[in-house]
């Protein structure tokens, strides 16, 4: 869409890939939350199960979901994301 026909800076390619990974994590987080919150939370109150005093739907959607997504973000940032310089390439070549 906004790609130039000439050689594109590799940093933009990396940034676009990492941005799409971030969007994927956000979508995964929403699907996790929605599935547990509305999947387990749509039952009558008499059928609720409780974990540590929380309804199971809340425990799995909010507490476990937060832990899973936080762990996923930590792993992805340390393993997949790359540390790239943000300065101008001409400045780096002069140094």
pLDDT of residue 3: 54
Q: Token pair for residue 69?
A: 């997504």
Instruction: Please give the DSSP secondary-structure letter assigned to residue 6.
Output: S
| Inter-residue long-range contacts of 69-76, CB under 8 Å, 24+ positions, other chains counted | 69/25, 69/28, 69/29, 69/32, 72/25, 72/28, 73/25, 76/21, 76/25
Cβ atoms of 41 and 58 closer than 8 Å: yes
- Tens-digit pLDDT profile for residues 22-80: 999 999 999 999 998 888 777 777 778 888 988 888 899 999 999 999 999 999 999 99
Q: Token pair for residue 14?
A: 């990396």
- Tens-digit pLDDT profile for residues 10-24: 888 888 999 999 999
pLDDT of residue 83: 84
pTM score, whole prediction = 0.74
């Amino acid at each position: 869409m906004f790609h130039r026909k000439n050689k594109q800076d590799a940093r933009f390619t990396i940034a676009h890939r990492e941005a799409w990974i971030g969007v994927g994590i956000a979508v995964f987080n929403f699907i996790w939350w929605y599935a547990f919150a509305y999947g387990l939370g749509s039952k009558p109150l008499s059928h609720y199960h409780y974990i540590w005093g929380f309804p199971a739907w809340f425990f799995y959607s909010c507490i476990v979901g937060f832990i899973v997504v936080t762990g996923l973000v930590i792993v992805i940032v340390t393993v997949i994301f790359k540390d790239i310089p943000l300065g101008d390439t001409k400045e780096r070549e002069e140094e």
